[in-house]
Structure 1
Amino acid sequence: MDKKSLKRIRKSRILIFALLIGSAFSACRSNNFYKAPKVSAFRGGELPAPPGMVYVPSGTILYKSSLDSGNVGKNISLSAFFIDETEVTNKQYRAFVNWVADSIAVTDYLNDDQYFLDVTGEEIGERQINWDRVKKVSPLWKSNDPSIQERLAPMIVMKGSRRALNEDVVKYRFSYLKSQGNLEKEYVTDTVSVMPVEDIWSKDFPNSQLMSMDANYFTHESFDYYPVVGVTWRQARAYTDWRGKELMATLMKNSYLSGYQLTFSLPTEAQWQYAAEGKLDPRDTIPGTRLTIDGENGKEKLAVNYKQGEGTYSRDGATFTVPVKSYIPNAFGIYNMAGNVAEWTLDAYSPSAIAFVNDLNPVLLYDADPEDSDALKRKVVRGGSWKDNGEQLNSETRNYVVDYEPHSYIGFRCVMSAFEMPTSQSKTRRY
């Protein structure tokens, strides 16, 4: 074979090899080997929120405190989160109390097989409660069955002629990551009595003849959709733990959030301020005021529940609290971030906290030990309440209460972690 023929053969082999390599890369490309994964939506929209919550997108606010004179604050950014559209209601909190009471009744006093799941094979750990069965007869402590009443007697106390739960028995146990400044964080277990202080009205206002509020506010169905009060910071945190577990156990199995690990908590004060500063719809309100226009008669009326002046409580439509969906929501769809009840936040209180916390999702965490001084147990309260004047309703106003102290003018709401929705700004030409 001459040299020209050999050269032609070599060129043919090189060409074939090149075509094979090209085909291989083409196959990879056709299988999306080099493609970035498609995003479900570049629409800058909102994630569907869990029941009773709204989606708050990521954003930036000027973070400052009205208590710090001359403080110009600083810009901080917050990632997206879900927040309750209303304050936690009496009805919602009663569900928590009854769940705890049912758990204790089944496991500590009744110990009846009908209330437990059947376990095949070797049993591991504690028996699991059959909640489908329990919920059919819940709350067990209110049962009219004499045998059940007799066995649950240690859970019951008499308040006049009314049977009530024993706060020393009805306690919720949960674990959390304890934080104490620069000390190493560790998981600890806390046990919290969950019953609110029902006579908190008379304790806060001892000379105001509020016995009827004490007797009815938490228990009567006419107050179902009013904000729960008489709850400490520790009780509020226990509720958020329970609610998160309940939601994960029921909703997440069949939702777009299935498989994700999401956390419930009290809002940080930065989250609270950001959510509170959603502006009211100018079509419904008079700019610069706390008024709205009555659609029936065209007159101005107050659109927030607070103390209008010395001895003046009722011009906003109520003397005390109002139902949690009173008035109009802000731009995020959240009700009563100002007035009605002030709200617990997750943060420990420090006058200078805003100066040294992070500029991304800031929070000041400190879990005091029982023997610590009250100065270490102070938690930030935001929003003002039905008994506060207008100055307390400013979104920048910070107050504090120690974590074991309940009041008739402090409630709370929950937040849940969320994912950030890509916006049109991050869209590439390819999409």
Structure 2
Amino acid sequence: MNNILQVLIGIVIVIGSISCTRESSTATGWSYNDPKNGGFDKSPYIEQETGPGLVFIEGGVFTMGQVYDDVMYDWNNMPRKATVSSFYIDETEVTNFHWLEYLYWIDRVYGDNYPEIYYKALPDTLVWRQKLGYNEPYTEYYLRHPSYRDYPVVGVNWLQANDYCVWRTDRVNELILIREGLFEFFPNQIDEDHFSTDAYLAGQYESGKRVEGITDFDPNNETRNVRMEDGILLPRYRLPTEAEWEFAAFALIGNSNQELISGAKIYPWSGNYVRNDDHKGHFYGDFRANFVRGAGDYMGVAGHLNDGADITADVYMYFPNDYGLYNMAGNVSEWVMDVYRPTSNEDVSEFRPYRGNVFQTKVKDASGSIANKYDNVDYDMDGIADYMTKFQRTMQGRSTPEEASLIDNVNIAVEEAQNLANNDKRDDANQKIQETLELVKNQDLTISFMIVKGISDNIINQPGEMHYRDITVEETVDRRNYREADNIDYRDGDIESSIYYLDASMEDKPNRMYEWGVTTLISNRARVYKGGSWSDRAYYIQPAVRRYLDERQATADIGFRCAMSRVGSPGGLGNNKR
């Protein structure tokens, strides 16, 4: 009996010693999470959490580009092999109700002191208007009426879509910290004192904390903020790249058996038909997507409508593709990240192809610390000047004396703000624009709100956001992978790729290759959008078709969905080691 007791005691001692043993470094042998040796932290981690609304897309190699007839003779997406890393993408397009949630938050946080931020976020509901068509009800009801609540938001330009992605990242990460017990719900956030992921990671947001932080194994501290190394916060929501969107739309995973892909696809579904060809199902003969069948036929014959929609439709209305993604063909076309070039297929990388890189870094002060976040609105001075020049030209001969005087005063103030910004007095320049806005708001004139809205569209940073800047050539002296911040023109628009490659005087001239507004609409602001829409013929619902539009413009048939980078293993849990 005593021997058995001794054995049991020995087992307990061994188990206890094992449970108290800390994991140690395979490089140095020092234990992790041990205050006695300095407390280098290794947080428990399994894998990336799937964010709200997202679907995991396992990446791989595919033939990107048009493999069937290019009936428009654009020749701008020639087929070639490319590899896309695993990523996440929204199950559906962003809806009107999602956007109303965004507008509500913007108004609640910024509405009192910076209403221009709210104006900037408003979709252009007038995109529905046609000169010879009666679409006026959509301008009033489409965004806000509950009948269209689950329809895709439209009238949103590329810049607004990116702003939404930033906002969504912050709201999701804020909720994660609340879920983990670190923060409380704090509805009284206002102006720069609101949660943003970057500000929190930089130690510049404290409001709403429930506790000081998580346990810090550093013997000199008791608690600390969550860090990126903890794996608790999610990566950024963003627009998908063109390659990611096309890969997700084709969903070749449904046609593959191990490494064999049985046949290419024209559409996000198998086969050559736009109707459901499963004669055993209840939906045999029904359209698989929302598009225009033919001349004047947007919805079909009463009693049995083709696609059940005259304009857009509920984002869950049609069958998903093999990844479980809805409306990757039809309903609305969708913005992607890429800058448009007609020959990108010849230039971009084979691995994660993308054109549009502008490399940036956080601004730091003289001591090397991250600069304080914005406490006011940051404006694009040149953009405002360009807008006011066009506005004055449009109003010439049509404005009243009072309106003409206001326009002149605004132009004088904008010129002063430009000079301040050019002399590295950006805070003073922003303050000048803010004072000008107050001046305009106090004028009871028809054009007052037009000017306020035009200036609002040129906001580039909002209170509470961190300062970023483009990297400089001085920082890249010894680099081989890149030398400049802006690589949009690389191999297609830069001085080396233009006919002026021997003319040094053209180095800083715009429109070296693409004479925007003269011979082409292609510029560094031209962004790709993919997929067909409710107003397109069947040709455009092929995922390989690509078109472009200025990032500042919006239409009634372009929406978007968000994506997120996958970090770590491309296969996720259950993907056995080889």
- 1:245 pairs, out of 155, 166, 170, with 170
Q: Does 1:104 align with 2:110?
A: yes
Partner of 2:153: helix, strand, or coil? coil
Partner of 2:61: helix, strand, or coil? strand
Q: Does 1:406 align with 2:554?
A: yes
Letter in 2 for 1:49: T
Asked if structure 1 preserves the Cα contact closer than 8 Å seen for 2:286 and 2:307, the reply is yes
Letter in 1 for 2:551: D
Structure-2 change in CA distance of 1:69 and 1:195 (3 Å): closer
Q: Distance in 2 between matches of 1:244 and 1:270?
A: 22
- RMSD between aligned residues: 3.4
Question: 5+ residue gaps in structure 1?
Answer: 1-29, 109-168, 173-191
Partner of 1:375: helix, strand, or coil? coil
Question: 5+ residue gaps in structure 2?
Answer: 1-21, 28-41, 181-227, 256-268, 300-305, 359-379, 387-509, 511-515
Normalising by structure 1, report the TM-score.
0.64
Q: Distance in 1 between matches of 2:106 and 2:74?
A: 42
Letter in 2 for 1:197: D
Q: What corresponds to 2:53 in structure 1?
A: 52
Asked if structure 2 preserves the Cα contact closer than 8 Å seen for 1:79 and 1:420, the reply is no
Q: Does 1:311 align with 2:296?
A: yes
Asked if structure 2 preserves the Cα contact closer than 8 Å seen for 1:59 and 1:77, the reply is yes
Q: What corresponds to 2:92 in structure 1?
A: 86
Q: Distance in 1 between matches of 2:535 and 2:312?
A: 9
Q: Distance in 2 between matches of 1:357 and 1:280?
A: 24
Q: Distance in 2 between matches of 1:80 and 1:280?
A: 13
Asked if structure 2 preserves the Cα contact closer than 8 Å seen for 1:58 and 1:420, the reply is no
Q: Distance in 2 between matches of 1:222 and 1:296?
A: 29
Q: Distance in 1 between matches of 2:570 and 2:341?
A: 35
Q: Distance in 2 between matches of 1:280 and 1:426?
A: 19
Partner of 2:334: helix, strand, or coil? strand
Q: Does 1:323 align with 2:314?
A: yes
Q: What corresponds to 1:386 in structure 2?
A: 534
Q: Distance in 2 between matches of 1:170 and 1:426?
A: 52
- 2:522 pairs, out of 350, 370, 375, with 375
Asked if structure 1 preserves the Cα contact closer than 8 Å seen for 2:48 and 2:234, the reply is no
Asked if structure 1 preserves the Cα contact closer than 8 Å seen for 2:45 and 2:231, the reply is no
Q: What corresponds to 2:62 in structure 1?
A: 61
Partner of 1:346: helix, strand, or coil? strand
Structure-2 change in CA distance of 1:70 and 1:212 (3 Å): closer
Letter in 2 for 1:289: Y
Asked if structure 1 preserves the Cα contact closer than 8 Å seen for 2:527 and 2:549, the reply is yes
Map of 1:82-231 to 2, 5 A cutoff? 82-107=88-113, 169-171=115-117, 193-202=120-129, 205-231=130-156
Letter in 2 for 1:396: A
Partner of 1:83: helix, strand, or coil? strand
Asked if structure 1 preserves the Cα contact closer than 8 Å seen for 2:57 and 2:323, the reply is yes
Structure-2 change in CA distance of 1:316 and 1:40 (3 Å): same
Q: Distance in 1 between matches of 2:529 and 2:132?
A: 25
Partner of 1:328: helix, strand, or coil? coil
Aligned residue pairs total 313
Q: Distance in 2 between matches of 1:96 and 1:298?
A: 36
Structure-2 change in CA distance of 1:295 and 1:64 (3 Å): closer
Partner of 2:324: helix, strand, or coil? coil
Structure-2 change in CA distance of 1:170 and 1:259 (3 Å): same
Give, in angstroms, the shift of residue 54 of structure 1.
Answer: 0.4
Asked if structure 1 preserves the Cα contact closer than 8 Å seen for 2:333 and 2:529, the reply is yes
Asked if structure 1 preserves the Cα contact closer than 8 Å seen for 2:253 and 2:323, the reply is no
Give, in angstroms, the shift of residue 230 of structure 1.
Answer: 0.7
Give, in angstroms, the shift of residue 78 of structure 1.
Answer: 1.3
Deviations 1:261-307 (A, max 9, x none): 6122111111110110115979xx77322222598856421010000
Map of 1:246-395 to 2, 5 A cutoff? 246-251=171-176, 254=179, 258-260=231-233, 262-278=235-251, 287-292=271-276, 297=282, 299-314=284-299, 315-365=306-356, 370=383, 373=516, 375-376=522-523, 377-395=525-543
Displaced runs of 4+ in structure 1, greater than 3 A?
A: 30-35, 65-72, 252-261, 279-282, 293-299, 366-374, 420-426
